[in-house]
Amino acid sequence: MLLGIDPLLTGELLSALDAMGHSDGICVADAHFPAARLGRRVLDLPGAGTPAVVRAVRSVLPLDDTDPLDLMQPADDGRLPVQDELVTAARLDPAEARMVERHAFYDLAARCFVVVRTGETRTYGNAIVRKGVVPAAREGA
């Protein structure tokens, strides 16, 4: 364990987040998501829900200024409570979250740097978060 690091951020996940470049995506997926079929790299966090993982990721990852968060559009075109929680966990205004049709979301997820499969059982509990530019370190810090 490390001081100040969310325990959901395993060494493997931290390494993936560090290796990501600007605009690379991380797909935080629910337990129903076809992660093994779509993901180039798949990490499992079966004991966590997607909002908790997004919150942990955001504790160390700045967001891209273009399309920072994609959510999978439910069939009824509404927004579900789990999706509201994902927007809150990403520290965004709801208008900043883009709703993406399910199969188009799968296409975006297949291009993500990493897919994190969680134990989230609520349907449509999936999010793609895009990495922004990490600010330059201050001298002497």
Closest residue by Cα to residue 86 from 74, 11, 24:
74
Predicted pLDDT of residue 28: 98
Q: What is the pLDDT along the chain (141 residues), one digit of tens a residue?
A: 678 899 999 999 999 999 999 999 999 999 999 999 999 999 999 999 999 999 999 999 999 999 999 999 998 888 999 999 999 999 999 999 999 999 999 999 999 999 999 999 999 999 999 999 988 876 665
Is the whole-model pTM more than 0.85? yes
Residues with a known catalytic role: 22, 64, 106
Residue 29 vs residues 1, 17, 95, 104, 136: alpha-carbon distances, Å:
24, 16, 21, 15, 30
